[in-house]
Structure 1
Amino acid sequence: MHVQGVDGAEESNDGSFVDLRRSQAGAFTRTQAMRCGISDKVLGRGVRARQLQRIHPGVYVDFTGPLPWETRVWCALLACGPGTALTGPTALRKYGVDGDWRDDRIHLAVPHTRRLDRKSSVVVSRHRDLPAILHRTRRPLTVRIEVALLLTAGAHRDVSRRAAVLLDACRQRRTTPHRILAELPALPSLAGRSTLRRILADASDGVQSFLEHAYLRRVERAHGLPHARRQVRATTEQGVVYRDTEYEPYGVIVELDGQAGHADSISRWRDMTRDNAAATSGKVTLRFGYQLVSDPCSAAIQVAAALQHRGWPGRPRRCSPACRL
């Protein structure tokens, strides 16, 4: 939208004011406007005429109506001043990591010495050595993706949510467990460090989802089942497939399917094809969904029976006095 007295102004050093606003998703500061010769009188007239919106003290946008997410991000950054960086879920969303980002607030990181007034829908964290955790080239300033993952996961009390954040990013090949682990020393006050370290160790072992993580810890390890290989590559007549968990000496495969795995007929057909290919090679496939989270003992009973039928000489153990094994 054209704003009289604003669109005609030119910045002396950084190109046109129009280009600046475009690069900031329509947001700009009073200081940026005044550098271009735009007075408070012009800004006030634009707000009264509903050509501009004042979002935070000294921060405006050059259009009316609801603010897109990108514009909200820029408004928060400009309101918090130079050196402010995206962090947490906001940084992950900016990196393009797929996830259930229910927290629509803007998460920002500032130097430890900076004190800011509270702003609506903006969460600010302070860091003693903020430059050390920033991505070197991204603009606007953003913490490294591994740092954002650790901060986001550490903010959850629920272990399943912590695991989901870290494992989903690794499965999407946005980063690796090793790279995330390497960032832990840079966050000495991070909550739940030992839990996050265990989750990442399991991810290094091939675990790629919360459900796989739950199976490994609550079924396989808790009940003394043999150690399986994970993400096993196999070639079938239909092409290459990957099996979630395979007890290779015994020809037992365990597939772990979340809701997304049964969302459409193509997914179901792919699963059946994979299972049938295993069966024709003499292997048996057991398939579990989210029920194993609430009843891991039932899954352990079935897997142990299949393993023993296929020659496993061991015996499973009870995970607790209440275990039904």
Structure 2
Amino acid sequence: MDDVLTTGSATAIFGRAAVRRHLRAGTWQRPFRGVIVTHNGPLTRDQLERAILAACPAGSALAGPTAAHRLGFQGFAPERVHVVLPAGAKQPDIDAVFHWSTMLDSRDVLLNREPRMTTLERSIVDAASWSVSKARARVLVLAAFQQRLTSVRRMRDALSRRGPCRHRAVVIESILDAHGGIQSLPERDFDEIRVLAGFPKPERQAPVRGPGGRYFLDVWVPQLNLAIEVHGTQHAAIGQWTSDLHRANEVVIDGRRTLAFSSFAIRHERAVVIDQLRRAAGLTSTDVVPPKPIYGPGEYKISPADGPKVEGSVPTGAGPRRGGHTLVR
């Protein structure tokens, strides 16, 4: 497109005298230093993004939510333009969000596309790591899979080059959860919650026969007549969504009670999950005393002071390191 040019390109195409004449006459405009727009009207969003990029140092690229939106990612259009600059480059004095990176080669940047921008997978990983919350980071990653824009292999490949970043653990979880269900959860995640809730040991992937054949329950607690479903991502495919709904209906028709949680809730909203599990089991706050962690040599156990007997469990470990670096590897 030749409506947004660097001053050098405009001079090479039209000549220095013509560029100066259009600027003096007001038929062209200079929105930023070193950038010429060959009309005098308001800039479209596309023109604004290209003008901001043209004002940045060589090697820069549109990035994060800005690049993802250009590449077909729907529902998360950013208000401000995000640009990634080569490490050590000086940012221009313009209204945009700037980041820095040492990884801006052909594996992470679409070199044959104008304007220059990061790949979809790198853009999603960056947008997630720049998010203000873990929940927002998770939504961005799962939405990319829901919209069928990427694959687990490509996302993991992009993340492997990203280096340490904010919300990295949640991004990894969400990539795995794109395959759905409790299979993507470490067994200890649900087991620790079960112990804290005072639940007996359940059956996992319990087979059940229905009119349409055999299917499996993520978690089945026969003592409580309770099935628990854990969803990794919501409705990633219409066919799978329909199948899951049919299966849920069969569970209820068969006389079983059912609870459903997201894998994000299992990992990060445990208080809510434990509360609902306890109430589903008919327990009150006085029925189960919150277990106290007991640390021993090389092991971790959960032991309730009173209440039902429960098995030992393993903690899930610390969450993702908070904060982040301006420089992206």
For this structure pair, what is the TM-score category when the shorter chain's length is used for normalisation?
Answer: 0.5 to 0.7
Corresponding position of 2:160: 185
Residue of structure 1 in register with 2:100 after alignment? 126
Residues 151-300 of structure 1 mapped to structure 2, 5 A cutoff? 151-206=126-181, 222-224=193-195, 226=202, 246-247=218-219, 252=227, 254=229, 276=249, 278-280=251-253, 282-286=255-259, 293=269, 295-300=272-277
Distance 1:297 1:88, change over 3 A: same
Shift of 1:192: 3.8
Equivalent residues of 1:181, 1:200 under 8 A apart: yes
Following superposition, the deviation at residue 302 of structure 1 comes to 4.7
Report how far residue 71 of structure 1 moved: 1.0
Q: Secondary structure at the match of 1:126?
A: strand
TM-score by length of structure 2 reads 0.61
1:11 is matched with which residue?
A: none
Report the Cα distance in structure 2 between the residues aligned to 1:206 and 1:39, rounded to whole angstroms. 63
Cα distance in 1 for residues equivalent to 2:265 and 2:103: 44
Can you give the 5+ residue segments of structure 2 that lack an aligned partner in the other structure? 236-242, 283-287, 294-307, 309-329
The residue that corresponds to 1:62 in the other structure is 38
Matched residues, number: 268
2:61 matched residue in structure 1: 85
Structure holding more helix per residue: 1
The answer to whether the 8 Å contact 1:228/1:246 transfers is: yes
1:270-297: per-residue Cα shift (whole Å, max 9, x none)?
Answer: 9998865554455544467999957333
3-state secondary structure, aligned to 1:96: coil
Distance 1:300 1:166 in 2: 28
Asked if the contact 2:57–2:91 (Cα under 8 Å) also holds between the matched residues in 1, the reply is: no
Among all aligned residue pairs of Structure 1 and Structure 2, give the percentage whose two residues are the same amino acid: 23
Bigger relative contact order, structure 1 or 2, given CA contacts below 8 A and separation 6+?
Answer: 2
Please state if 1:114 is matched with 2:89. Answer: yes
Give the conservation status (yes or no) of the 8 Å contact 1:53–1:60: yes
Q: Indicate conservation of the 8 Å contact 1:87/1:109, yes or no.
A: yes
- 1:55: how far off? 1.0
TM-aligned CA deviation for residue 79 of structure 1: 1.3
Moved more, 85-94 or 194-203: 194-203
Q: Matched residues in 2 for 1:50 and 1:320: separation?
A: 74
Q: 2:291 and 2:144 mapped to 1: Cα distance?
A: 30
Report the residue type matching 2:193 in the other structure: A
Seen in structure 2, the aligned counterparts of structure 1 residues 147 and 67 have a Cα distance that, compared at 3 Å, is same
> Could you tell me which residue of structure 1 aligns to residue 73 of structure 2?
97
Could you tell me whether the CA contact under 8 Å between 1:154 and 1:192 is conserved in 2? Answer: yes
Comparing 76-85 and 288-297, the one that deviates more: 288-297
Instruction: State the Cα deviation string for residues 175-227 of structure 1 (Å, max 9, x = none).
Output: 233432222331224234344334434444548xxxx99xx998775234758
- 1:157: how far off? 4.1
Q: Give the AA of the match of 2:66.
A: T
* Equivalent residue for 2:19, pick from 43, 47, 63: 43
Question: Are the structure 2 counterparts of residues 317 and 65 from structure 1 closer, same or farther at C-alpha, using a change threshold of 3 Å?
Answer: farther
Query: How far is 1:318 from its partner?
Result: 4.9
Structure-1-length-normalised TM-score: 0.62
CA 1:255–1:135 in 2, change beyond 3 Å: closer, same or farther? same
Correspondent of 1:143 among 113, 118, 127: 118
Residue deviations 1:97-127 (CA, integer Å, cap 9, x gap): 12434x422222233253343322x223332
Q: For residue 236 of structure 1, report the CA deviation from its aligned partner.
A: 8.8
Cα-to-partner distance string for 1:248-272 (whole Å, 9 max, x where unaligned) = 686736488x9x99xxxxxxxx999
Tell me the CA shift for residue 56 of structure 1.
Answer: 0.7
Inter-CA distance 118–220: structure 2 relative to 1 (3 Å threshold): farther
Aligned to 1:310: none
User: Would the aligned equivalents of 1:85 and 1:142 in 2 still touch at CA under 8 Å?
Assistant: yes
Any conservation in 1 of the 2:83–2:97 contact (CA below 8 Å)? yes
Q: Residues 253 and 283 of structure 1 are in contact (CA less than 8 Å); yes or no, is this contact kept in structure 2?
A: no
Structure 1: stretches of 5+ with no match in the other structure: 1-19, 262-269, 306-315
Can you list the C-alpha shifts for 1:110-159, whole angstroms capped at 9, x where unaligned? 33253343322x22333224114223644332222222222211122421
Give 3-state SS (helix, strand or coil) of 1:54's partner. coil
Structure 1's 236 and 175: CA in aligned 2 closer, same or farther, altered over 3 A? farther
Q: Which amino acid aligns with 1:133?
A: D
Residue 321 of structure 2 is matched in structure 1 by none
**d(CA) in 2 for partners of 1:166 and 1:46?**
46
